[in-house]
Amino acid sequence: MRRSRRFFRTAKTLTTKTLTTKTLTTKAEFLNRIRAALAGSDAGALKDEGSLSSLPPVPDVWPLRGLSREELRSRFAESLTAVAGECVACSDLRDAADKTTALLREAGAVRVALPDHPFTRRVVPLLQGITLIGPPDEPGVGDQGTVNLGELARCDAAILSPEYLLADSGSALLAAPTVFDRLAIYMPPICLLLAPGSLLREHLPHVWQEFRTQWDRSPAGEFVVVTGPSRTADIEKKLVLGVHGPKKLVVFLIDTVL
């Protein structure tokens, strides 16, 4: 029996070595074929940018469905609600400002972070009874004067404006060119997004070209994709909101912006 076991072990070792050698030989042959192909006339053609037109087109992984504005709005609201976010329909800027003010008062939010954005500047004059904290080392809103990042940590909420809204996931794409902009997205427990309906897109690939153009104009900072409030699940599969970011996220979707 001992001889049989020893023979079995020896045979098994030899078989393993044989398979390994055969595999290496196969890989070597495969790589040699690639080298031979690249050494041919086609290799030089691939290096020429003009030959790229002969390559097959990039597959359309997420084709556009041609959804209407109403369909995009409905899909976005449904997707956002599914991830514990809220979507509030607003008829115009005044309606959005009134609903924003009412929500902040109901939540007891007094100090609100306000990163500089062309769209939020239009809403600011319509907000009432709220202390707005602007970016550091710059004039604040109203008579707030110069502020620092320490004040941002004491803010109850933040009012932001996204660059795009993605209907398929209920996400918002926000530009964060400064540290203040980035922290305003994460630190306050309440995140309010004011956005016109014209920012709705079907999905992220739909905005890639527009996104690239905007990034080329202003390459500083980063873009952040926000999908609902912060969600964290522990090992017991219990979902907790607000651990690593805002506990509440509301998108005020404005129908008419003149």
pLDDT the model gives residue 100: 95
pLDDT at 179 (0 to 100):
84
Q: State if pTM tops 0.85.
A: no
> Tokens 């924003």 identify what position?
100
How much is the pLDDT for 12? 44
Q: What is the pLDDT of residue 172?
A: 96
Q: Which CATH number fits domain 69-254: 3.40.50.1820, 3.40.50.10420, 3.40.309.10, 3.20.20.140?
A: 3.40.50.10420
Please tell me the predicted confidence (pLDDT) of residue 136: 65
| pLDDT at res. 258 | 61
Exposure of 170 by Cβ count < 10 A (0-12 exposed, 13-18 middle, 19+ buried)? buried
- Cα–Cα distances (Å) from 181 to 84, 96, 222, in that order, read 23, 22, 10
Residues with pLDDT less than 70, the chain: 1-25, 39-59, 136-149, 217-220, 258
For position 221, what pLDDT does the model report?
Answer: 73
Q: How many CB atoms lie within 10 A of CB 167?
A: 23
Could you tell me the residue ranges of all domains in the chain?
2-53, 69-254
pLDDT at position 166:
96
- pLDDT of 25 reads 59
Please name which of 73, 86, 80 lies closest in space to residue 249, comparing C-alpha atoms: 86
pLDDT of 101-159, one tens digit each?
A: 999 999 999 999 999 888 988 888 888 888 888 876 544 443 343 446 678 889 999 99
Q: How far is CA 234 from CA 67, 227, 238, 243, 245, in A?
A: 38, 19, 6, 11, 16
For residue 67, CA distances in Å to 72, 91, 210, 226 come to 6, 21, 18, 22
